């Protein structure tokens, strides 16, 4: 129970800005007011402003309106509960746990646009896996950006995790090759591959990502076992578009929604969940290794609506 409440309070802290605007806003809008069509319109506007997105907002509002018209909800408090339930439904869904290979190593490939939070999320994931007594290795396949390898190395030193690297400007697939070999030889549990930031429209870079995948697949059965897209929650509707586009072009299996602590528009989690064909697996709520939380729809909505 203490464990559960500490998770909840961490998510609450991370969602502070969102709670203060969206949820306090919703509560002050709804509570004490008569439930009618115009109140439902106002709620719709507020959800859109919080980046919940058009599709998810329509779904929430249409069902609220239908229930109101059918006399199933008549008080404004009921509307709030209705929204909470609807949000949990929208955010829920398939397994959010990371895939684990039955043979070592399990390989996670991390992708996303520049500055989304990939490398920091990798450090957080490594920290989490280490806390579960797993051995971890990192592959510095961002050979493109100056300083990228060093950034990952610094995390590796801090976390006590080995980093496999190559030449700056070298072939990232060659680094992936070396890392897969090393991970298999050392018998590590999990290999996490960092990659350079890219847009889904940059064909050469997307081909490079595919090459990293195929190198991993040739070395290790079933690899990569997860391809995780990291999204920057502060970019709102752009994050939504990336979820859609990487979903089409990069064979992603899950999402880490980073920087939720840096936005008042945490409603974007709902929009991303709705737009993507894969689950949000983790949320990033700060810059420290421990600031990663497994995503759980019920916890997320409870944290968002709690005082």
Ligand X SMILES: Nc1nc2c(ncn2[C@@H]2O[C@H](COP(=O)(O)OP(=O)(O)OP(=O)(O)O)[C@@H](O)[C@H]2O)c(=O)[nH]1
Site string for Mg ion, 66-105 (x = CB under 5 A): ----------------------------------------
Residue from 49, 67, 244, 287 that binds ligand X (CB under 6 A)? 287
Q: Is 226 in the site for ligand X (CB under 6 A)?
A: no
Q: Which sign, positive or negative, has the C-alpha torsion 21, 260, 299, 56? A: positive
Does residue 115 bind ligand X (CB under 6 A)?
Answer: yes
User: Can residue 51 be called a binding residue for ligand X (CB under 6 A)?
Assistant: no
Q: Is 76 in the site for ligand X (CB under 6 A)?
A: no
Window contacting ligand X (CB under 6 A); options: 26-34, 158-166, 253-261, 273-281: 253-261
Binding-site size for ligand X (CB under 6 A) equals 22
Partner that binds at residue 226, options Mg ion, ligand X, none, CB closer than 5 to 8 Å by kind: none
Sketch the per residue contact string, 117 through 136, with Mg ion: x for CB under 5 A, - otherwise.
-xx-----------------
Q: Which of 23, 83, 148, 276: binder of ligand X (CB under 6 A)?
A: 148
Establish if 152 lies at the interface with ligand X (CB under 6 A): no
Which one among 114, 202, 214, 238 touches ligand X, defined by CB under 6 A?
114
Structure tokens at 251: 């064979």
Q: Could you list the residues that contact ligand X (CB under 6 A)? A: 112, 114-120, 142, 145, 148, 197, 230, 258-259, 261-262, 284-287, 291
């Amino acid at each position: 129970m203490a464990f559960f409440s500490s998770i909840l309070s961490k998510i609450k802290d991370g969602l502070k800005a969102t709670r203060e605007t969206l949820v306090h806003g919703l509560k002050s809008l709804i509570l004490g007011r008569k439930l009618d069509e115009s109140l439902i319109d106002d709620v719709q506007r507020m959800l859109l402003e919080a980046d919940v997105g058009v599709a998810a907002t329509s779904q929430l509002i249409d069902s609220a309106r239908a229930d109101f018209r059918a006399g199933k909800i008549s008080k404004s408090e009921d509307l709030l509960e209705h929204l909470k339930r609807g949000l949990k439904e929208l955010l829920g869904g398939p397994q959010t746990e990371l895939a684990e290979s039955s043979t070592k190593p399990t390989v996670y490939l991390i992708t996303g646009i520049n500055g989304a939070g990939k490398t920091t999320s990798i450090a957080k994931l490594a920290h989490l896996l280490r806390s579960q007594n797993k051995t971890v290795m990192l592959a510095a396949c961002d050979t493109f950006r100056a300083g990228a390898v060093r950034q990952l190395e610094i995390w590796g030193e801090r976390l006590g995790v080995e980093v496999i690297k190559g030449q700056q400007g070298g072939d990232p697939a060659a680094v992936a090759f070396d890392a897969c070999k090393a991970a298999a030889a050392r018998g590590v549990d999990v290999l996490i591959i960092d990659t350079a930031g890219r847009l889904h429209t940059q064909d050469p870079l997307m081909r490079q990502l595919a090459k990293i995948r195929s190198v991993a697949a040739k070395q290790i059965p079933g690899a990569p076992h997860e391809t995780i897209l990291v999204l920057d929650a502060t970019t709102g509707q752009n994050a939504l578009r990336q979820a859609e586009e990487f979903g089409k072009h990069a064979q992603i299996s899950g999402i880490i929604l980073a920087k939720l602590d840096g936005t008042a528009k945490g409603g974007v989690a709902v929009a991303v969940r709705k737009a993507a064909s894969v689950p949000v697996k983790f949320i990033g709520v700060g810059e420290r290794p421990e600031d990663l939380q497994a995503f759980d729809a019920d916890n997320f909505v409870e944290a968002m609506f709690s005082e």
